[in-house]
Amino acid sequence: MNQQLNDYSQAVSQYIENLPKDGGDWLVAQRSSAAERFTEIGFPNAKIEAWKYTGIEGLLKQGFETTDKLPEFPEHAVLRQFLEEPVAGRLVFVDGVYQADLSTCDTAGITVGNLRSAMAASDRAVLEVIGSLSGMGDHGFAALNLATVHDGAVIRVTSETCLEQPIELLHVATKSAEGQALRSRHLIMLETGASANLIERYVALDDAAYFNNLVCEISLAAGAKLTHQRVQLESPRAYHLSDIHLGLQADAYYHGINAAVGAAWSRTLIHNRFTAQGANCELDGLYLAGDGQLTDFHLDVDHAVPHCDSRENFRGILHGAGKAVFDGLIQVREQAQKSNAHLYNANLMLSRHAEIDTKPQLVILADDVQCSHGTTVGQLDPQAVFYLRSRGLDEQRARHLLSLGFASEVIDRFENETLRLQLADVIRQQLQS
C-alpha cells in the first residue's frame, strides 16, 4: 500500500510539474496543497468509519491512470444521448474532455463554460471559488481530484434569473476511456433569487473500465432555488466517485434527485452545511445494485444555524450479488434551534446473495428540534405478488412490477419525463438480466 501511495504521489507531482506554465493560473497553488493533503491522508481504508463498508481494493487494483488523452468517438452516438426536450444550455464532456462544439448556451441570464478555459483565462471569479465548499478533500480521492483536475463545468445563473428550461450537463464515456482516471470538477453558482433546473447525467457508449472521480461544488445565494436531477448510468465496468458539496445561503432551496444505477462500483457523497437561516435542502435518491455492483450513498446534512429544514428519502433495490451501503448523517449543532431534519432509507432485498449495510445517524446538540430517521430492510409483500399472479402475471413479472413500484416513489420525483421513462426502463432491464 505504501509503495502504491508513493507511486501515486510521484505521479501527481509529475502531473502538476508538467502543466503548461505560460497558460495563466492553472490552480498550481491549490493543486500543490491538495497533493500534500493526499500524501498526508492517503487512500481511505476500512478503519475509517465512513469507508467501513466500502472497499477500494478493486479500484486501486485497476491501476487507472491520469492522462490527457483526447477521446475519439462517433459524434452521432453522443448526439443520441441528448435530452429530447429543449434546454436552456448544454455542456457536454466526453471522457472528461469538454466538447465546445456540442455544447450550447444562448439563454440570457446564464453563463456556462468549462473549467479549463477559466483556468487558462485566469478567471479569478471562478478559480477563487474552487475548493471553497469542498476544502482540499476529506479523503485521498477528493484530494487527488483537486491536485490533478482536468476540466469540468462552470455554470452561473445571474441574479433573479428564472430559467424555464433545464440546463443539461452530460458526461459520456467511450471506449477510449479504458484504463483512465477521469477527473472533473464542477462549479455551479446561482446568484440571489435565481432559479434553475440542472440535469446531470453520466452515460457510457461502451463497457469500458474507467474511473470517474468527480467533485461538484454548488453554491446557492440568498433565495436561490435549484432542482438538481442527477443520473449515474456509467458503464458496468466503471468506477464512479462523486463528492457533491452544497452551500446554501439564507432562504435558498436545493432539491437533489439522484439515481445511481450503473457502474461496478459507485459512491456518492452529498454534503450540505447550512450556514444561513431559512434554507431548505431536500434529497431524494434511488440506487440499484446487482451482480458485481457496489453502490454507496453518503449523506451529510449539517444544521449549523437555526431555522433550516432538511428531508432525505433514499430507496435501494438489491438483486443478484449486489451490495449497497447507505450512510445518512444528520447533525444539529448547538444554537441550531428550530431545525427540522428527517431522513428515511428503505431497502428492498430481492436475492440471496445481496447485501445491504445501512447506517442512519443523528447527532443532535440543540433541543428545540424535530429530527427523525428511519430505515428498513425488507422484501416484496408476498400478498401483493400473489395478487398480481392471480391477475395473470407470472411471478417474475409480478416481482419486477412491484419492485418498480417501490422505486417509483423516487423516480416520480424526477421532473423530466424522459428521465423517468429511461430510469424505469433501465431498472426493468437490470432486474431481468
Partner 1 sequence: MGLPNTEMEDFVESEYAQGFVTEIESDTLPPGLDEAVIRTISERKGEPPWMLEKRLTAYRHWLTMREPSWAEVRHPPIDFQTISYYSSPKKKPLLDNLDQVDPELLATYEKLGIPIDEQKALAGVAVDAVFDSVSVATTFRESLAEAGVIFCSMSEAIREYPELVKQYLGSVVPHKDNFFAALNSAVFSDGTFVYIPKDVKCPMELSTYFRINEANTGQFERTLIIAEERSHVSYLEGCTAPMRDENQLHAAVVELVALEDARIKYSTVQNWYPGDNEGRGGIYNFVTKRGDCRGDRSHISWTQVETGSAVTWKYPSCILRGKDTVGEFYSVAVTKGMQQADTGTKMIHIGENSRSTIVSKGISAMHGSNAYRGLVRVAAKAENARNHTQCDSLLIGDRCAAHTFPYIEVKNPTAQVEHEATTSKVSEDQLFYCRQRGLSEEDAVSMIINGFCKEVFNELPMEFAVEAQKLLAVSLEGAVG
Nearest CB to partner 1, comparing residues 248 and 318: 318
Tell the smallest beta-carbon distance from residue 369 to partner 1 (Å).
Answer: 6
Tell the smallest beta-carbon distance from residue 350 to partner 1 (Å).
Answer: 6
Return the residue of 121, 362, 404, 424 that touches partner 1, per CB under 8 A.
362
**Strands 97-98 and 253-260, bridge-based pairing:** unpaired
Nearest CB to partner 1, comparing residues 85 and 368: 368
* CA distance linking residue 149 with residue 23, whole number of Å: 15
Residues in contact with partner 1, shown as a per-residue x/- string from 49 to 68 under the rule CB under 8 A: x---x---------------
Beta partners for residue 167, in sequence order: 89, 198
Q: In the range 15-54, which residues lie near partner 1 by CB under 8 A?
A: 49, 53
* Residue appearing with cell numbers 471562478: 126
DSSP string, 11-51: HHHHHHHTS-SSSS--SHHHHHHHHHHHHHH-S--TTSGGG
Return the residue of 165, 337, 384, 426 that touches partner 1, per CB under 8 A.
337
Q: Does 304 bind partner 1 (CB under 8 A)?
A: no
Single-letter amino acid, residue 368? D
Q: In the range 135-164, which residues lie near partner 1 by CB under 8 A?
A: none
* Residue appearing with cell numbers 432486474: 431
* CA distance linking residue 113 with residue 129, whole number of Å: 15
Nearest CB to partner 1, comparing residues 102 and 377: 377
* Residue appearing with cell numbers 466526453: 94
Q: What one-character DSSP code corresponds to residue 70?
A: P
For the chain, how are helix, strand and coil distributed in percent, rounded to 5? 25, 40, 35
Q: Does 347 bind partner 1 (CB under 8 A)?
A: yes
Q: Does 350 bind partner 1 (CB under 8 A)?
A: yes
Within a 13 Å sphere around the CA of 72, how many CA atoms are in the beta-carbon half? 1
Tell the smallest beta-carbon distance from residue 53 to partner 1 (Å).
Answer: 8
| Count of residues interacting with partner 1 (CB under 8 A) | 37
Return the residue of 375, 393, 401, 426 that touches partner 1, per CB under 8 A.
375
Q: Does 376 bind partner 1 (CB under 8 A)?
A: yes
Q: Return the SS3 of 366.
A: coil
Tell the smallest beta-carbon distance from residue 334 to partner 1 (Å).
Answer: 7
Return the residue of 46, 365, 386, 433 that touches partner 1, per CB under 8 A.
365
Tell the smallest beta-carbon distance from residue 1 to partner 1 (Å).
Answer: 21
* CA distance linking residue 88 with residue 196, whole number of Å: 9
Under the rule (CB under 8 A), what is the footprint of partner 1?
49, 53, 318, 334-335, 337, 347, 349-352, 354-379
